[in-house]
Structure 1
Amino acid sequence: MMQLKDQSPNSGNLQLFSVFAEQIPAAVAMLDRDLRYLIVSRRWLIDYELQNQDIIGRYHFEIFPLLQEEGIGNREHKFPHSPLQK
């Protein structure tokens, strides 16, 4: 399990999620609203063959550039009921 680098006021919550991700036998990743990785599980690293990379804090399309090249990253997604909308 990759460790968190962010020590923001919500770091206690992130640490709790880190413990969860460490124990879960599934591929789990959590990104912030800027699509930077906060937490990844061991299974996620194994499934995407990224065990030897430091993922935390990196931009999603830096890790998976083909997604952006194919236009997936260039689409604007609207979720009208999401509390995360800016």
Structure 2
Amino acid sequence: SEYPSVYTACKALAPKLGVGAESLRRWVVQAQIDAGEKTGPSSEELEEIKRLRAEVRDLKESNEILKQASIFFARELDPRRR
């Protein structure tokens, strides 16, 4: 209530806390989202998205390895190459 906006409060308090104003503002906004005061993905949802993206990346890498292996073995087993 001392400050007209969250940004102004963060700009004033960030140097006292030893962090950047934008970092503090983003933390405040995320805390508001987690508390249900604002809409957006919660910290838990963001963590799940991060985990799922890593899983997708790993699966794509595994699929590429399997694809290359199948191409290799198909060539090795091709009777026309003998």
Category of TM-score, reference length = shorter chain: under 0.3
Structure having the larger proportion of residues in helix: 2
Q: Compute the TM-score of the two structures, normalised by the length of structure 1.
A: 0.23
Higher relative contact order (CA 8 A, sep 6+): 1
Larger Rg: 2
TM-score by length of 2: 0.23
